[in-house]
């Protein structure tokens, strides 16, 4: 633990089958005007919309709605929500949905009272928050991003063909409360479930393969990965397995609320490549991550060979007897590939709408970085070609 850190997370979590009973007391802490943010019709089909509206009405809230938040929320939707916040003097943004809805809520909160262009200031320039924000509460219906307990907001600017992430300070932008009932995830289609599962797994690997290895965080990351693999397999067999779905949900929340990242250097290059893939194709985030991960790790494993050997042995139980370190590391990456296939995730970029002409544009616009190795545009292009 040789990197100093300060850690505090202000989000209050209500977890389990009884979690919704806490919504009335949370609503009582805020003024009367609420912006209700959600995706398409799934929360109405499940009955959750009616339950939320009932609590809002009983609490005497005046509700304005913004529906149809996309799986890759757009800057246009952020601006639409920001205008509603100003027009209705919103006191609380209540985001009901998955990470995309919550990310959009944070974008709206940051943008509503910004005197400049929020996209330029907060996503392109990554400037500190310089204006009042609106409190956020969440009711989670899909797991993956941990946006329910962090300050992250990933937004797509369709006009600029850019998908950029911004991590706002936890003390200002983390949700004030989050309601996590694993039963709310039962109605999520399988494709979205497996996308969320791999998003979680990618978060864990991006922190694990970053450098500054063998600290306490690494052991915690390994535990979260092992728990997720086990729960994912159980959920594939029975999507209504409460124990499995609850473990997946908590793996996600713990995986990216910064507690597992303390004293860790990190990578995040797989995410940077996928963000631009998403900007061009609008593919599901976790699916894109899965397609990119294997060729990316095959391209950079030699730069962090010791860590990939540990990953192979501790996560995939690769037997190192009679094998070189390179063979063990590559076998671990092969095990990752088999797990992706086991989840039923597409194997190529072509399957998610990418065209060969897009690949140089994605590579050129990707933010370059990395943990053990900083990639070049040419290397990103080769990775994209390898999974096309």
Tokens of 42: 């799934």
Q: Which of 214-218, 254-258, 275-279 has the weakest average pLDDT? A: 214-218
- Confidence (pLDDT) at 41: 80
pLDDT digits (tens, 9 = 90+) for 103-139: 999 999 999 999 999 999 999 999 999 999 999 999 9
Three-class SS state of 179 = strand
* Mean local confidence (pLDDT), 82-105: 97
Torsion of CA 167, 171, 172, 175, to 10 degrees: 80
Read off the DSSP letter of residue 215.
S
- Confidence (pLDDT) at 7: 81
Q: Which of 106-115, 209-218, 243-252, 374-383 has the weakest average pLDDT? A: 209-218
**pLDDT over threshold 80, residue 2:** no
**Nearest in space to 267 (alpha carbons), one of 249, 293, 242, 246:** 293
Q: How far is CA 136 from the centre of its chain?
A: 17
Number of CB atoms found within 10 A of residue 8's CB: 8
pLDDT digits (tens, 9 = 90+) for 320-371: 999 999 999 999 999 999 999 999 999 999 999 999 999 999 999 999 999 9
The H or E element containing residue 152 is: strand 152-157
Domain(s) labelled CATH 1.20.1090.10 in the chain stretch across: 190-386
**pLDDT over threshold 80, residue 314:** yes
**pLDDT over threshold 90, residue 6:** no
Q: Domain 12-185: give its CATH architecture.
A: 3-Layer(aba) Sandwich (3.40)
- b/e string for 202-237 if b means 16 or more Cβ within 10 A? bbbbbbbbbeebebebbebbbebbebbbebbebbbe
Q: Domain 190-386: give its CATH architecture.
A: Up-down Bundle (1.20)
pLDDT digits (tens, 9 = 90+) for 175-199: 999 999 999 999 999 999 999 999 9
Q: Which of 262-266, 296-300, 331-335 has the weakest average pLDDT? A: 262-266
d(CA 24, CA 15): 15
Confidence class of residue 219 from pLDDT cuts 50, 70 and 90? very high
**pLDDT over threshold 90, residue 59:** yes
Domain(s) labelled CATH 3.40.50.1970 in the chain stretch across: 12-185
Confidence class of residue 88 from pLDDT cuts 50, 70 and 90? very high
The whole-chain average pLDDT of the chain stands at 96
**pLDDT over threshold 90, residue 3:** no
**pLDDT over threshold 90, residue 263:** no
- Confidence (pLDDT) at 224: 98
- Confidence (pLDDT) at 80: 98
């Amino acid at each position: 633990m040789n990197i100093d850190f300060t850690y505090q997370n202000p989000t209050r979590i209500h977890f389990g089958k009884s979690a919704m009973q806490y919504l009335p007391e949370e609503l009582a802490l805020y003024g009367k005007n609420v912006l209700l943010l959600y995706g398409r019709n799934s929360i109405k089909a499940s009955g959750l919309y009616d339950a939320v509206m009932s609590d809002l009405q009983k609490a005497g809230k005046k509700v304005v709605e913004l529906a149809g938040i996309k799986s890759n929320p757009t800057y246009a939707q952020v601006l639409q929500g920001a205008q509603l916040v100003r027009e209705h003097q919103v006191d609380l943004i209540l985001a009901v949905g998955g990470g995309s809805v919550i990310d959009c809520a944070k974008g709206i909160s940051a943008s509503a009272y910004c005197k400049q262009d929020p996209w330029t200031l907060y996503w392109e320039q990554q400037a500190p928050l310089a204006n009042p924000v609106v409190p956020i509460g969440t009711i989670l219906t899909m797991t993956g991003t941990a946006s329910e307990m962090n300050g992250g907001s990933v937004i797509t600017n369709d006009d600029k063909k850019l998908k950029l992430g911004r991590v706002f300070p936890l003390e200002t932008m983390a949700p004030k409360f989050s309601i996590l009932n694993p039963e709310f995830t039962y109605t999520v289609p399988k494709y979205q479930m497996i996308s969320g599962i791999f998003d979680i797994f990618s978060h864990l690997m991006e922190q694990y393969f970053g450098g500054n290895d063998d600290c306490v965080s690494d052991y915690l990351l390994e535990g979260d990965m092992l728990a997720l693999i086990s729960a994912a397999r159980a959920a594939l067999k029975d999507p209504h397995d409460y124990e499995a779905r609850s473990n997946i949900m908590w793996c996600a929340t713990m995986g990216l609320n910064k507690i597992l990242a303390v004293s860790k250097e990190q990578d995040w290059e797989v995410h940077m490549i996928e963000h631009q893939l998403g900007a061009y194709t609008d593919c599901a985030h976790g699916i894109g991550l899965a397609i990119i991960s294997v060729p990316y790790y095959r391209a950079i494993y030699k730069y962090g060979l010791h860590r990939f050997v540990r990953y192979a042995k501790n996560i995939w139980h690769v037997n190192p007897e009679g094998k070189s370190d390179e063979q063990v590391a590559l076998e671990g990456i092969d095990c990752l590939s088999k797990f992706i296939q086991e989840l039923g995730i597409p194997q190529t970029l072509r399957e998610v709408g990418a065209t060969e002409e897009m690949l140089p544009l994605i590579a050129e616009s990707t933010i370059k970085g990395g943990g053990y190795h900083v990639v070049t545009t040419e290397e990103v292009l080769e990775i994209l070609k390898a999974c096309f």
